[in-house]
Structure 1
Amino acid sequence: MSNPGEADLTPIQHPRQLAEWFAAGSKPREHWRIGTEHEKFGFRRDDLSPPPYEPGGIRAMLEGLGRFGWEPILDNGNPIGLKRGGASVSLEPGGQFELSGAPLPDLHAAEAELRGHLDEVRQVGAALGLGFAPLGFHPLAKREEMPWMPKGRYAIMRQYMPRVGSMGLDMMLRTCTVQVNLDFGAEPDMVEKLRISLALQPLSTALFANSPFTEGRPNGLRSLRGRVWTETDPDRTGIPAVAFEQGFGFERFADWVLDVPMYFIMREGRWIDCAGASFRDFMARGLPEHPGIEATMGDWADHVTTVFTDVRLKRFLEMRGADAGSPEMMQAMPAFWVGLLYDDAAQKAAAALVREWPVAELQALRIAVPERALETPFRGRALRDWGRDAVAIARQGLRARGLGEERYLAPLEAVIESGETQADRWLRLCATEWNGAVSRVLDAAAI
């Protein structure tokens, strides 16, 4: 998403520019990198409540991190993020603290980045009496108890979300994820990687399930975050069938994105509300309420970031199906996908694993997974068994890279072996050692 003053103002003169924008992400293998993103909920140590933007809350966290060399990103004079080198810290709508990591060459570098970031957050948070817990859904707070961050685009989304889904505001305020961004080669490589990762995204939701509580009670699900995304906005979420069409590629995807409703554009540092408008119409006729404004490539780049499919194609592939979790699980998540997609033999094995899975069955699986996670039946087997196959392929792929990265899969292999997800562990502890006190999960999950 563009920050004020950073947008590409190149006019859009032909639809082929849109497909070319995606195609420009194609890279030779030696330039493939790993970018991780992970979010966490802040909470006050004294009463476990969500911290406000200010005073003594999220703004103070951003300012405190400045001593580590981070530079502020401002929105109407308010710090709403940080940048340092190729990495950034950003805020989700409810103050969820997110690191968007730099593009890094291997998983060891990604782990070092993660550990360094968590250490900085702990140091600054301790002085403010704040803790941070990576969980998929806030286990205690009601929606109205969550703060709103002062980012202009969030005000527009806040008004639009209730018009298109029942849980869009929950997605914005009460969910946290861990993601990995991976590169692709030429168009055929992008297509195969996208199809593999879309097909296996329900499995990722199951493996990383970590949101079994709502407002202080068990909610009957392993991944409430996974359920929230099924009730957010059907125009821009889920597993898009277009990716499995014959002849799919950059041009067809760009054509599909043209009909995803818009949220906003930015001009002169100001967000303009055009929620629900068609980008296709915007290109053809502009915005009736704002004559003279023409579509730019910066508008297109911003619009692409409002596509919330389970795997998002930008100039890289963004895996979006996992709940936030422990640091070990946050590192296992990129390891899983790098193992599957950054070695040729592993990628072909993964493609063969999912080749006969019809998109309609995948979409149905996506709906079912939040409740039963690895116990979900799929094509005659439990999803746990499919997970064992996929993790084994990922291990082979990491071993072939020759960097010793396969050790990062150990937490996933433990989940597969025991059948106990992070969510199952919290439910077990709540029913035994915690005597039903869900509130203990924030301290237990804190980084």
Structure 2
Amino acid sequence: MSGPSAPNAQPITSKAQMVDYLASGSKPKDEWRVGTEHEKIGFCNAKKLPLPYDGPCSIKAMLEGLQRYDWQPVEEDGNLIALKRDGASVSLEPGGQLELSGAPLEHIHQTCAEVSRHLREVREVADEIGAGFLSLGFRPDTKLEDVPVMPKGRYKIMRDYMQKVGTMGREMMFRTCTVQANLDFGSEADMVKKFRVSLALQPIGTALFANSPFTDGKLNGYKSFRSRIWMDTDADRTGMLPFVFDEGFGFEQYVDYALKVPMYFVYRDGQYLDASGKDFRKFLDGTLDVRPGEVATMSDFEDHLSTIFPEVRLKKFLEMRGCDTGHWDELCAMPAFWTGLLYDGSALDAAWDLVKDWTTEERQTLREQVPTSGLQTKFRDTTVNELAKQVLEISRSGLNARAKMNAHGENETVFLQDLDAMVAAGQSNADRLITKFNREWAGDVMRAYSECIY
């Protein structure tokens, strides 16, 4: 999750400022970049318990150890909560999940080099302090009440509010892990097309990267329990956003949506002030009781956008949010998958042709069924696995057209190989893990701590 935005004290006096903020993300194609974020679940080797914030085997020890690699510390109320280096950051999720938010990079070869460097650094520090990190989308055995809480102000506000608006918000905060790709657009029309394609295909991504079949030491009946959790977290700020497919949709309509989403907080002087459930529009007219007489600034709007969690999120770029985190190679495969679909005009056209006649009901049904049945989900007269094969071919064509080569003369399609193997077998990571749990693991989920680590 995001931290506070960079200071921008410009008062908001019109909706046009917020619309222009989103529109300012438009870039010429040669400036499009790829940003990749991923989270991982930490544990202490001795007893396989979650990393606490403080102590010899802890999140704080990880952040301190990583500073030897030129990461610069970030503190909140005297607590070390994040690191920054070369446009990237390492930060804490609410339950101690460690997140890399990668720098905007030109191609997936760079992305994979960034991910690989980070994971090597994490592994070296973790080995020294007796820790490890799981490559799963959900904590496999630790109960919710046993997950330590990280010392970040916004998380306390969110934790308390989650109980009022859904049944699984705390599960999302403390036990889930995702991988996310952030991609650019060239204009409002380009944004709209990419937004629609990526929303429609987000359940396909969820099925391909499904990797969270365990809860409390047992099978939970889902391929992506992480995805299921988001369906009962907070309906005001999650979901498939059917209005994106309405005629006339654009930046202004997304601002209208964002202004209807209840607030979480106001960030002032290094402190998060609880504004949970309050109307951002009152902040615009100076009647928000948390800061009476004060008008929201552009920084406040940027912070507010970061508290909205649909399957695809619009900021000054588009965020693909539908996938469970996975093993090392899949952290490269996920941004490659979406880059191939969205960054080549012919591939984007082909993807739109595939989904443009899908109805709102069909898109929602896919969203609801994929967490349970994954690649085996039925759709019309086919399956999600067959759709995934088609989508992978479109992505491959887009990556081929980009022709971004590594030192060995390979283009970015090399990063789709794991996904090709999945659809050839009709099995995601979750399917494989379920089989292992029932067979060679003999029902012992603790095997994940040796077989599902970075």
Q: CA deviation at 1:66?
A: 0.5
- Identity of paired residues, percent? 51
Cα separation, 1, equivalents of 2:216 and 2:3: 34
User: Which residue is 1:235 aligned to?
Assistant: 236
User: Which residue is 1:432 aligned to?
Assistant: 439
Does 1:84 pair with 2:85? yes
1:106-131 Cα offsets, whole Å, 9 max, x none, are 00000000000000000000111000
How is 1:149-188 mapped onto 2 (pairs within 5 angstroms)? 149-188=150-189
- Please list every run of 5 or more consecutive structure 1 residues that lacks an aligned counterpart in the other structure: none
Q: CA deviation at 1:361?
A: 1.5
Q: CA deviation at 1:46?
A: 1.4
User: Which residue is 1:405 aligned to?
Assistant: 412
Cα separation, 1, equivalents of 2:225 and 2:377: 15
Q: Runs ≥4 in structure 1, deviation > 6 angstroms?
A: none
Cα separation, 2, equivalents of 1:387 and 1:231: 26
Does 1:131 pair with 2:132? yes
Cα separation, 1, equivalents of 2:65 and 2:171: 28
Does 1:55 pair with 2:55? yes
User: Which residue is 2:408 aligned to?
Assistant: none
Cα separation, 2, equivalents of 1:194 and 1:3: 24
Q: Are the equivalent residues in 2 in contact too, given 1:262–1:303 (CA < 8 A)?
A: yes
Cα separation, 1, equivalents of 2:153 and 2:441: 41
Q: Are the equivalent residues in 2 in contact too, given 1:415–1:421 (CA < 8 A)?
A: yes
Q: Are the equivalent residues in 2 in contact too, given 1:237–1:309 (CA < 8 A)?
A: yes
Q: CA deviation at 1:435?
A: 1.4
Cα separation, 1, equivalents of 2:15 and 2:285: 10
Q: CA deviation at 1:281?
A: 2.0
Does 1:443 pair with 2:450? yes
User: Which residue is 1:17 aligned to?
Assistant: 17
| Aligned-partner residue type, residue 258 of structure 1 | L
Q: Are the equivalent residues in 2 in contact too, given 1:26–1:185 (CA < 8 A)?
A: yes
User: Which residue is 2:427 aligned to?
Assistant: 420
How is 1:303-382 mapped onto 2 (pairs within 5 angstroms)? 303-382=304-383
Q: CA deviation at 1:285?
A: 3.3
SS of the aligned residue for 2:90 comes to: strand
Cα separation, 2, equivalents of 1:12 and 1:160: 26
Cα separation, 2, equivalents of 1:200 and 1:3: 28
Q: Are the equivalent residues in 1 in contact too, given 2:224–2:372 (CA < 8 A)?
A: yes
Q: CA deviation at 1:251?
A: 0.6
Cα separation, 1, equivalents of 2:75 and 2:287: 28
Q: CA deviation at 1:287?
A: 1.4
| Aligned-partner residue type, residue 416 of structure 2 | L
Q: CA deviation at 1:324?
A: 0.4
Q: Are the equivalent residues in 2 in contact too, given 1:257–1:304 (CA < 8 A)?
A: yes
SS of the aligned residue for 1:90 comes to: strand
1:414-436 Cα offsets, whole Å, 9 max, x none, are 00000111011111111121111
Q: Are the equivalent residues in 2 in contact too, given 1:286–1:295 (CA < 8 A)?
A: no
| Aligned-partner residue type, residue 90 of structure 1 | S
Cα separation, 2, equivalents of 1:206 and 1:274: 36
Count of equivalent residues: 447
| Aligned-partner residue type, residue 23 of structure 1 | A
Q: Are the equivalent residues in 2 in contact too, given 1:3–1:73 (CA < 8 A)?
A: no
Q: CA deviation at 1:363?
A: 1.2
| Aligned-partner residue type, residue 428 of structure 1 | T
TM-score normalized with structure 1 length: 0.98
SS of the aligned residue for 1:372 comes to: helix
| Aligned-partner residue type, residue 226 of structure 1 | S
Cα separation, 1, equivalents of 2:5 and 2:27: 27
Shifted more, 358-367 versus 196-205: the winner is 358-367
TM-score normalized with structure 2 length: 0.97
How is 1:264-303 mapped onto 2 (pairs within 5 angstroms)? 264-303=265-304
Cα separation, 2, equivalents of 1:367 and 1:51: 32
* CA RMSD after TM alignment: 1.1
